Structure 1
Amino acid sequence: MSATARSEDAPAAGEIAARLREAGFVRLVGAATGDALAASGVLARALADRDRPFQVSVADLPADTERSTDADLTVAVGRSDPVADCSVPGTAEPASETAFAVARELGADPDAALALAGCVADGREPAGAVAEAAEAAGIERRPGVAIPTTDLVDGLAHSTLVHGPFSGDSEAVAAALAAAGFVVGDPEASDPRLDATGLDEQAHRRAASLVALRSVGEDSVPPRGGHAVERALRPFVGGPFETVGGYADVLDAVARERPGTGVALALGHDVGEAALDAWRAHARRAHDAVADATTGRYDGLFVARAETDAAPVATLAWLVHAFRSPEPVTLAVTDGAAAAVADDRTLESVLSTAAAGVDGHAAATGTTGRARFDVETGAFITAFREAL
C-alpha cells in the first residue's frame, strides 16, 4: 500500500460539513465498496449524533439509485455523481478519510476502527487523522494475517484479500497449515479449525509467511501480487472483528453481496454473524470464478470471462488483476456486467465510452470501475478494447 496525499481538488471537509448542518434530511448513496460503505457509516453516525434524519443506501452504479426520496441533501459516497448535491469521491484520498474529517467538523467522535477499515479496504496506507485516532484508540499492528474470524482456517479460506491454491477451500487451508507445522483439528473434518487467538508472535509470522508464499510464490503471479498481499499481512487489531483488515474484507463483501446487512454493519448494529455469512458466500463465489474463468490476453489488457452470471465481477476483477494478470488493465465480465481494474490509469473515460457504445451504464473511481450492459459479452469486450 502507498500513502496518497490530499490534492487541491479533493473535497473540503469543512464545506461538506457545512452543507450537512444546513440539511433537514440527508441521503447518503454509497458505491458498492468497503471504503464507501465505511465512509457512509461514519457520516451517518455523525448525523445521528446531531439527531439529523438520514437514509443510507448502496448501489453498484449511480443509475441503480432510487432518487424518489425527498431529501434536502443527497451525498454520493465513494464516487462522483453529477445528480447528487455533493460527493465524497474517494479519489485523492479514501472516502473514509474524508468522512472522518467531516464527522469531526460536525463535532462527532467518529469510530476510528470503522474509518481505518474503510482505508484498508480502499488499499491505501491509512494516514493523517485516521491513523492518529487509531493509534490513540490502541489499535496497533501485530504479526500475522488479516482475517475477521478467530478461526484461522475459516479466515484464510474465505479471505478476498488474497488468492492462492487454498482459497475457497477450508480443507486445503487446513492441509497447508498442518504441513507448515500448525496443529489443526482433524484436517479431514468438514470444518477443521485453528484458533488464531492462541497463537504467539512466532506462529503469527509463520502463518503470514505461508500466505505470502502460497499466494505470490509462483512465477505466474505478476509483480503487483507482492504489493497486493501486503493488505493481508501485519494487520491492525481492533474493531468488531478479529482484525481491522478482516473488518475491511467483510465490508467489501457485504457491500457487494448483501447491501442491507452492510449498511446495518456500518451503522454499528449487531449483525456480525449475518455479515460473516455473506462474506463466506461472496468469497466462495469469487474464488470459484477466478479458478474457472476463461482468460484472454490483449495488448495492454487481460480479460477474465466468468463461467456464471452469479460471479461477483468487482471482486473477480481485483483478484485476477492482483494475482493473475500480466497486463496493466484487467477486465472481468459476465452476462450483462463487467468490472475493470488498472495499475495507474483512470478508467472513467474508458468505461463510460465503452458503455455508451453498447447503450449501457458505467461508473468509475480512479483505477477501478463497473459497467452494466444488455449485449453479448464479446460486444462489450470489443467496445472496451476500442475505448482503451
Structure 2
Amino acid sequence: MSTEGRTAEATPAPLESAGFVRLVSSADGDALAATGLLARAIREHGTPFQVTVGRTVAERTERATIGEPEADDATIVVGSVDADLEATRLAATDRAATLEAAELVRELGESPDPVLALAGLVAAGSEPGAGESEWVLETARDRGLVDRRAGVAVPTADPVDGLAHSTRVRAPWSGDPDAVRDAFSGLELPEPDALGTDDHRAIGSLVALDAVGAEDTVEASARSIGRALKPYATPEGPFATVGGYADVLAATARTEPGTGVALAMGHGVDRAALEAWRTHGRRAHAALDSASVSRHDGLFVLGIEDGPVETVAEIAVAYRSPEPTVLVVGDGEAALATRTDESLGSTVEAIARALEGDVDGLEYDDGRRRGYLRYDPETDDSTIIATTREFR
C-alpha cells in the first residue's frame, strides 16, 4: 500500500522521444487540469496518447501498468501511486499538479493554456497568481484572457443558475434555483448578458451576507466566501469565470470523468460538462441539508445517504464545520477534508492501513487537503469513524 507522496523528478526527455504516452489522472479538478495541459502538449507533438482517470491509488497503479509497454512508451501519473511504479509522477501533495504540468509543458517547448492552468490552480485551493504561479496569471492578462471584476466566481453568465449549483458557495438557498431567484428579487437585476459592474457588486454583497449570516455558519465561512468573490472573468473562455471553470472541472472529475477529460483537452463539451456540474451541485447541497452530524475533538463527522462525499466534505469544512477537519461517511465510501495547511496524504494512508485487516474491498486516495476511502458497503460506519478519530 506504500505510495510516493512527493513529486518525482519530471524531465521532458522521455516525452520528446516517446512513441506512445499513457496519462493517468486522479479524480479531482487540479489533476484533471494538469492532465489536460499535458495531453494538449503531447497532441501538438503528434504523439499518440491515452488518458484515463483513476479514483484511487490502486486504480491508478493498475491503469499505469496494464498491458505490455513498448520500449519507447512513457507513462505520466497525476496523483499518488504505488511507490515502486516506474513513471513520471506529479503527486500533487505539496504543490499544485497543474503548476508542475504547466512547467513541464513549457520545457517541452509548448505554451500551456493559461486559463485552464488558472482553473486548475483554483481547484487545488491556490490563489491565482500567488507565489510561483504569478507567471500564469500575467500570461493570461497579457493576452487579454482574464479580467478581474466584482461578483462571484460561477461558471455561467446567469448568476441564479451559477449560485444555485456552485459548490464553492454555501448559503441558505444553495441547491435551489427558485430560492436563489427569491433572494435576488430585491436587486432588480437585468438579463444576464446586460449585468454591469454595479449589478455584480450587489450580487457579491448579497451572497457574502447570506453565506456568513446563515444560522449554522462558522467563522471559516468568511474566509471561504472571500475566495469566491471578485472573480477573474474569462471573456473568451469556456465558462464565465476562472473559479467557475474550476468548479466544473472538480464536478466532472468526480462524476463524469470522461466528460471531464474531454473538457480539459478542449473538445467542446461545455454544455455536457455544465449539466454534470448542475447535477453534482444539487446532490452535494441536498446531501449536506439532510446529513446527520456529530462533533469530536478536532473532527466533525457527517453521515449522508447519497451524494458526492468528497464535495460534501469540502463544502462542510469551508462553511459548516466548527472543527478543522471533516469526515463524511456515505454508502461504501468516505471522505476527509481539512482547512489546515497540513497534508492529509500520510493520514489517509495510515487510516487505510489500520482498516485493511477489518474492512473488505478497501481502497483509498489522498491529496493535499483531502482524502477518500472506498470499501464494502456492509461496513459499519462506526468502524470508519473510530479509526479516523485515532489519527485526527
Same topology, TM > 0.5: yes
Is residue 7–residue 89 contact of structure 2 (8 Å, CA) maintained in 1? no
Provide, for residues 308-329 of structure 1, a one-character-per-residue CA deviation record: whole Å limited to 9, x for no partner. Answer: 3xx1011000001111101111
Identity of aligned residues (%): 45
Determine if the alignment matches structure 1 residue 155 to structure 2 residue 162: yes
Aligned to 2:270: 272
**Corresponding residue for residue 75 of structure 1:** 76
Deviates more, 1:271-280 or 1:211-220: 211-220
Tell me, yes or no, if the aligned pair for 2:299 and 2:326 is still in contact at 8 Å.
yes
Which of 129, 132, 136 is matched with 2:135 structurally? 129
TM-score of the superposed pair, with normalisation by structure 1? 0.89
The amino acid of 1:249's aligned partner reads D
Letter of the aligned partner of 1:354 in structure 2? I
Residue matched to 1:351: 348
Distance 1:224 1:361 in 2: 31
Alpha-carbon distance between aligned partners in 1 of 2:222 and 2:7, rounded to the nearest angstrom: 29
Cα distance, 1:19 vs. partner?
2.9
Is 2:207 aligned against 1:211? yes
Pairs within 5 Å for 1:76-225: 76-79=77-80, 81-82=82-83, 83=85, 85-126=87-128, 127-138=133-144, 139-179=146-186, 181-183=187-189, 195-218=191-214, 220-225=216-221
CA distance in 2, matches of 1:333, 1:261: 26
Q: Which residue of 2 aligns with 1:373?
A: 375
Residue 47 of structure 2 is matched in structure 1 by 52
- d(CA) in 1 for partners of 2:231 and 2:82? 33
Q: Cα deviations across residues 216-256 of structure 1 (Å, max 9, x unaligned)?
A: 22464222222222332111111111111111111110001
CA deviation map 1:99-126 (0-9, x unaligned): 1111111111211111111111111112
1:186-218 deviation line (CA, Å, top 9, x unaligned): xxxxxxxx6333111111011011111111224
User: Quick one: which amino acid aligns to residue 18 of structure 1?
Assistant: A
What is the CA-CA distance between 1:130 and the residue it aligns to?
1.2
Is contact 1:31-1:58 (8 Å) kept?
yes
Q: Secondary structure at the match of 1:16?
A: coil
- 2: CA distance, partners of 1:333 / 1:220: 20
In the alignment, structure 1 segments of 5+ residues that lack a partner are 1-8, 184-193
Segments of 4+ moved more than 3 angstroms: 9-12, 78-81
Alpha-carbon offset, residue 283 of structure 1: 0.4
**Is the Cα contact below 8 Å between 2:94 and 2:343 reproduced in 1?**
no
C-alpha contact (below 8 Å) 1:33/1:78 kept by paired residues: no
Give the Cα separation in 1 of the matches to 2:137 and 2:317.
Answer: 28
Structure 2 residue runs of 5 or longer lacking an equivalent are 1-5, 357-361
Q: Does 1:321 align with 2:323?
A: no
Aligned-partner Cα distance in 2 for 1:69–1:178: 58
> Deviations along 1:262-298, whole A, 9 cap, x unmatched?
0111111111111011000000100001111101100
Q: 1:69 to 1:247 in 2, by over 3 A?
A: farther
Letter in 2 for 1:145: V
Per the normalisation by structure 2, the TM-score is 0.89
- 1:135 deviation in Å? 1.4
8 Å Cα contact 1:11-1:98 kept in structure 2: no
